[in-house]
Amino acid sequence: MTADSTEYVQWFRNSSPYINAHRRKTFVIMFDGDAILHPNFNSIVQDIALLTSLGVRLVLVHGARMQIDTVLQRLDIESQFHNDLRVTDANALNAVKAAIGMVKADIESRLSVGIPGSPMHGARIRVVSGNFVTAKPLGVIGGVDFQHTGEVRRIEHQAISNLLDQHNIVLLSCAGYSPSGEMFNLSVEDVAQQAAISLRADKLIILGESDGLPDDGDTHTEITCRQLEQILHELTGSERCHADAALKCVRQGVPRVHILSYQVDGALLQELFTREGSGTLITQEAYDQLRPANIDDVAGILQLLQPLEEQGILVRRSRELLETEIHRFNVIERDGLITACAALYPYSDDQAELACVAVHSDYRGSNRGNRLLEQIEQEARRRQYKQLFVLTTRTAHWFIENGFVAGAVSELPQERQRLYNFQRNSKVFFKTL
């Protein structure tokens, strides 16, 4: 065996933990029209096929800016822009339709290659596209009517997830459709970030022209949201668009965003399967902390609970009561803001109540509730409780999804039964620890 062969074998062995870690995970991969025109795109397609064969659930989101420009020029239609956004009138919309159709067909054909001798031989990749993106018009901004330029309203995440479960690759374009049957031209960054957030993707991978975000003549290998915010004003063009998308995704619960270059052969595999990586990795802020609550958190918890109390979802708690019970609470704090809380109330030697589970409206869908639940369960086990119970009026499904089973009021500890409010008619759920 040659030295090169030995090195390859060692690399393959070292990649095994990453292969295991990525299997059944959901990745959203975004690229614009310039990536499709680059000679390295065929290699990217081959790497996408490899990820699929390794069990990664893939959603591809493509743009078509360059292709739209080409079609508009061919039709002698001048592009109109306002605040770096294309104004899409009826004539421009026809060009958008033509360009997106061509790009979609090109991607699907490349993913269909399977001739003997090719890297994709035997892959048999199924690509599914459709009206998964519901859009709405941007409307009039600064006196300019953007007409058929829109933004994402909703992603049909359940339909996409079902298709991914069936081992399909889902292909989304930079077009969206309204319930009234209108088509809208969308930014590829908007579609990608909304898809990643809605699907609760494990990663958003952005393939751009630059190999990551610049760092004084070099490239950031890893950067937190807080650090990225500090340099955001220094970025321009596509780098700024990619950084904005990365920030929004990570803030909304996508654990990792990778910005890579479509020009670097193997950048995708290098980033996902080696310690050295490639490009720039964007992660959550370091100041997002899960910890026991203290007396200084009372005001923040009250502010968090107030909207839910006003809606009747939670029972109202006074400041005085919260101050006496603060030792029962755990909180998630971000830069001084309480973004989530939960409490543990003991009722017997083997039973305790999970109560006051609340997540700030700006941070829902970011696994904060799950993190708090795990923390409460660990604490309950340390105290040797055998069972958790919870009373809820509006979030029954979330508790069921997290292993709770419906029960009756009569199964509650006697002390808790006496406190049960029959006017609220809360449902009761139990979880064995």
Task: Give the tens place of pLDDT for each residue, 336-390.
Answer: 789 899 999 999 889 999 999 999 887 777 678 888 998 999 899 999 999 999 9
What are the structure tokens assigned to 109, written together?
């054909």
CA distances from 362 to 248, 301, 373 (A): 11, 15, 19
**Strand extents, DSSP E, 51-143:** 57-62, 80-82, 85-87, 127-128, 133-137, 140-141
DSSP secondary-structure letter at 88? B
Render 144-180 in DSSP notation, one character per residue. EE-BTBEEEEEE-HHHHHHHHHTTPEEEE-SEEE-TT
pLDDT value of position 3: 60
CA 212 – CA 255 distance, rounded (Å): 17
pLDDT value of position 189: 95
Please give the CATH architecture assigned to the domain spanning 3-283. Answer: 3-Layer(aba) Sandwich (3.40)
Element (DSSP H or E) covering residue 70: helix 65-74
CA 332 – CA 330 distance, rounded (Å): 7
All CATH 3.40.1160.10 domain ranges of the chain, comma separated, are 3-283
Element (DSSP H or E) covering residue 340: strand 337-346
All CATH 3.40.630.30 domain ranges of the chain, comma separated, are 289-432
- Specify the long-range contacts of residues 113-120, CB closer than 8 Å, at least 24 apart: 113/45, 119/46, 119/49, 119/50, 120/45, 120/46, 120/49
Query: Which of the listed CATH numbers 3.30.930.10, 3.40.50.620, 3.30.1330.10, 3.40.630.30 matches domain 289-432?
Result: 3.40.630.30
For 89-103, write each residue's pLDDT tens digit: 999 999 999 999 999
What are the structure tokens assigned to 414, written together?
């006697």
Average pLDDT per consecutive 10 residues, the chain (433 residues; last block may be shorter): 68 80 93 94 93 94 94 90 88 93 94 74 85 92 89 95 95 94 94 96 94 84 86 88 92 91 92 82 74 93 91 89 94 83 91 93 80 91 93 90 93 91 92 91
pLDDT value of position 288: 63
Q: What is the CA radius of gyration of the chain?
A: 25
